[in-house]
Amino acid sequence: MKNVGIPILLVVMMTMAFPAPTFARLGETKAECQERYDNLGSELSFDSISMLLAGVYEWSEEDSLSHPLLPILKGASNLAYDYQGWCIKVAFVDGKAVKIAYLKYIGGHYTSYRETQGQPIEPYEVLAILDGEAGGGTWEKSSSGESVFYNTNGSLARLIAKRKTLLITTPDVKAFVAEQQKKAEQRKMDEQQKMKEALPKF
């Protein structure tokens, strides 16, 4: 895998030329995100009203990741923050941020993303975000040449939706998803058992 580090002088020059806002951090709490963005964030959910407002009637995983009005992690607490031209969607598990999606847009609020279809995230912006999300580790780019980055601390970053969304996850997400699937299967089994017990005796 190819290291994505670049000379310190170049980083400084790019930061001066293109100052980037301070983004969220994996592992932060809702209170810390609220302080960072000076707002509580907007709750996101997969309920029918939210889907209707988002203009999405059948959604795929990429829809939910790249649309500003849809959650990024089912079963978690999902919030969207409007911050200096970015929509930052954060999924919290046990009170900590475990998954973050960065989307750029044009307009006065991230809801304008639907009309503008978002904006591609520039390479220097990707580097700035990854630098802030290093979490004590080091990012390396996938040798496949795709827009995938691995961190030595176990985190993963991917550029998706035609480079319009940068998604970053911690290793905790995989365990959380597995647990959610296990609970869903148990609920299904319980419901089937109740249906069997409710059957009349023919």
Q: 180-190 pLDDT, tens per residue?
A: 677 778 778 88
Q: How many domains does the chain have?
A: 2
Q: In terms of residue numbers, what domain contains 158?
A: 2-170
Under the banding of pLDDT at 50, 70 and 90, the label for residue 126 is very high
* Strand 148-151 with 42-44, pairing: unpaired
Q: What is the average pLDDT across 56-64? A: 64
Both 189 and 106 in one domain: the answer is no
Indicate the angle between helix axes 123-132 and 8-17, nearest 10 degrees: 110
Q: How far apart, in Å, do the first and last CA atoms of the chain sit? A: 65
- Does one domain contain both 13 and 87? yes
The whole-number pLDDT of residue 186 equals 79
Let me know whether 186 and 102 are in one domain.
no
Do 201 and 108 sit in the same domain of this protein?
no
Higher pLDDT residue, 192 or 76?
A: 76
> Quick one: pLDDT band at residue 121, thresholds 50, 70, 90?
very high
Q: Which residues of 104-123 are buried (b: 16+ CB within 10 A; e: fewer)?
A: bbeeeebbebbeeebbebee
SS3 38: coil
Together in a domain, 180 and 142: no
Q: Is the pLDDT of residue 54 over 70?
A: no
d(CA 88, CA 123): 18
Whether residue 73 is found in the same domain as residue 24: yes
Average pLDDT along the chain: 78
Q: Would you say 97 and 37 are in contact if contact means Cβ atoms under 8 Å apart?
A: no
DSSP state letters, 102-163: EEE--SSSGGGHHHHT-BPPPHHHHHHHHHHT-TTS-EEE-TTSSSEEEETTS-EEEEETTT
Q: Which two tokens stand for residue 97?
A: 């941020």
- Same domain for 130 and 162? yes
Both 42 and 77 in one domain: the answer is yes
Q: Give the count of alpha carbons within 13 A of 133, CB side only.
A: 31
Looking at the fold, whether 107 and 193 belong to one and the same domain comes out as no
Same domain assignment for residues 94 and 79: yes
180 in the same domain as 126: no
